Amino acid sequence: MKDLSQGSIPKHLITMATPMMIGMFIQTLYFIVDLYFVGKLGAAALAGLSLAGNAMFLIFALTQILNVSTASLIAHAVGAKQHHEANDIFNQSMMLSSVIGVVVCILGYLSAETYLSNISQDPETIAMGLTYLHWFIPCMALQFVMVSISAALRGTGIVKPTMIIQTLSILLNIVLSPILIEGFGTGYAMGIAGAGLASSLSVIFAVILLCYYFKVAEKYIYIDFSLWRIDLPRIKKLLVIGLPAGGEFFLMFIYMGSIYWLIQPFGADAQAGFGLGSRIMQSLFLPAMAIAFAAPAIAGQNFGAKNYARVKETFTWTAIMTCSFMTLITLACLAQPELMLQGFTDNNNVLLTSTVFLQIICFNFIPSGLAFTCSGMFQALGNTVPALISTAVRLTTFIIPAIWLSQQAQFTIEQLWYVSVATVCIQAAVSLYLLKREFKKRLSTQPQENLDTLPTKEVMKSPPL
């Protein structure tokens, strides 16, 4: 356990964000490696991989329920020095993650074909996506256990072991991908099915290592099967915080699915180009997202310890750092987007769609950084409903004009990217307004005795929102 209620906040952010960024980058590499090898199989295979990969947003929505709530509640318990509460929350989270993982695995196999048929008109793309999903679904199901353990460690201020294990996992994936996809060294090429199998085997390896580490090394919280019984008050706590956060990602799943649906008439090349461009964009977001994801543990522990000035200071530093990174990658996308896409495909139509996408969509990077920051602070405060509201506003303001534009004679894909930029700016503004209101409601009545325990300089230097 690491006490984040003391010491330099910028240092805490960097210390926690660095291994988290590496871990997130490694997790993203699962898809990047698949994109690289599957891209050689043709546009239909790349489009099928992209459509199937979008299903991960639905998995992210479900895992986010446990990810956000587990980290937030354990951080609060650690800050308040409530060791038993932290351990009880962790075991409830592990119980729920195990059950949900089994259910997701079953439903995934039953509904995969229906999902793909609704967002693509190309039979070859649907077939490719279905083949990939059949081998990739175990990877999605195992995400729940891995997320619960990682979130619990993050809530206690520990992130390095997760990064190391994910690094080993992606190295295994990189080794397996050419062997399974192209038949390198074996002569048996599985094609796109090999990409799904490589990812699933790598995640199985990661889960085994993570469970082993947790068993032999972690002492502050631990698995206790006697606590794996239905504890309604704690489950309610997890769901109250987690469901809105999961809803936020579910809306993103709808948003991405809507784009794939809207660009169906432009063919597999357009869907593949959007899928490639969006994956590259998500990879570029990683430094900013890592900082934003580190903030809830820091602000959460300080909120639990009633160090309210440090909660606001965490927001300020997080916003500065995320927006700085977003500014740099905006300039990079405006200058040389082609360099980021080289090697993934030789299809000129796919490359053109991806290039134009990055050049336009990069204008929403800075407001996205602000939205990430606000979302992290809502998690720290234990109220994720405002983040859900701001995401719902974004989806609504995108879907309505996007559908109208798609029915016009002069409809182009680029129009969707411009609408997306505008709606992210709206989302950032709504998030900032809701966070200011949340701060006023939750942090405006700091106890005087708590103020007396803080260094004078630290209280004075914490800027108001």
Q: What is the pLDDT of residues 66-78, one digit of tens each?
A: 887 888 888 888 8
What's the rounded Cα separation, in Å, for the pair 423 and 392?
11
> If we measure between CA atoms, which residue out of 147, 180, 225 comes closest to residue 34?
180
Give me the phi and psi of 41, to 5 degrees please. -85, -5
Q: Could you write out the DSSP letters of every residue in 111-151? A: HHHHHHHHH---HHHHHHHHHHHHHHHHHHHHHHHHHHHHH
Residues 6+ apart with CB under 8 A from 137: 104, 105, 108, 109, 112, 196, 200
**Residue 415: its pLDDT value, please?**
93
- pTM beyond 0.75, yes or no: no
Q: What is the pLDDT along the chain (465 residues), one digit of tens a residue?
A: 566 667 788 787 887 777 667 666 666 666 677 777 777 777 777 777 777 777 776 787 788 788 878 888 888 888 778 888 888 888 898 899 889 889 988 988 888 888 888 877 778 888 888 888 888 888 888 888 888 888 888 777 776 777 788 778 878 888 888 899 888 878 788 888 888 898 889 889 988 888 888 777 766 777 778 888 888 888 888 888 888 877 777 887 788 888 888 888 888 788 888 888 888 887 788 778 888 878 887 888 778 778 888 888 888 899 998 999 899 999 999 988 888 887 777 788 888 888 999 999 999 999 999 998 998 888 888 787 888 899 899 999 999 999 999 899 889 999 999 999 999 999 999 999 999 988 888 776 544 344 343 443 443 333 333
Give the distance between the most distant pair of CA atoms in the chain.
Answer: 72
Q: How many CB atoms lie within 10 A of CB 81?
A: 11
Number of other CB atoms surrounding residue 57 within 10 Å: 18
| Burial status of residue 295 (CB atoms within 10 A of its CB: 0-12, 13-18, 19 or more) | buried
**pLDDT for the residue 346:** 76
Q: Which 3 state secondary structure label does DSSP give 336?
A: coil
Instruction: Assess contact for 64 and 96: CB atoms under 8 A.
Output: no
Between CA 279 and CA 282 the distance in angstroms is 5
Are 312 and 465 a contacting pair, CB within 8 Å? yes
**DSSP-derived secondary structure for 262-325:** HTGGG-HHHHHHHHHHHHHHHHHTHHHHHHHHHHHHHHHHHHHTT-HHHHHHHHHHHHHHHHHH
Exposure b/e, 415-428, CB count within 10 A at least 16 = b: bbbbbbbbbbbbbb
Q: What is the pLDDT of residues 365-386, one digit of tens each?
A: 999 999 989 988 888 887 878 8
The CA distance from 1 to 267, in Å, is 52
| Residue 236, number of CB atoms within 10 A of its CB | 10
- The per-residue pLDDT for 2 is 61
- Distance of CA 416 to CAs 120, 173, 210, 255, 353, Å? 18, 34, 41, 11, 12
340: which DSSP letter?
G
Q: Which amino acid is at 446?
A: Q
* Neighbour count for residue 413 (Cβ, 10 Å): 19
| Contact between 371 and 292 (Cβ < 8 Å) | no
DSSP-derived 3-state class of residue 182: coil
Angle at 176 between CA 185 and CA 162, to 5 degrees: 155
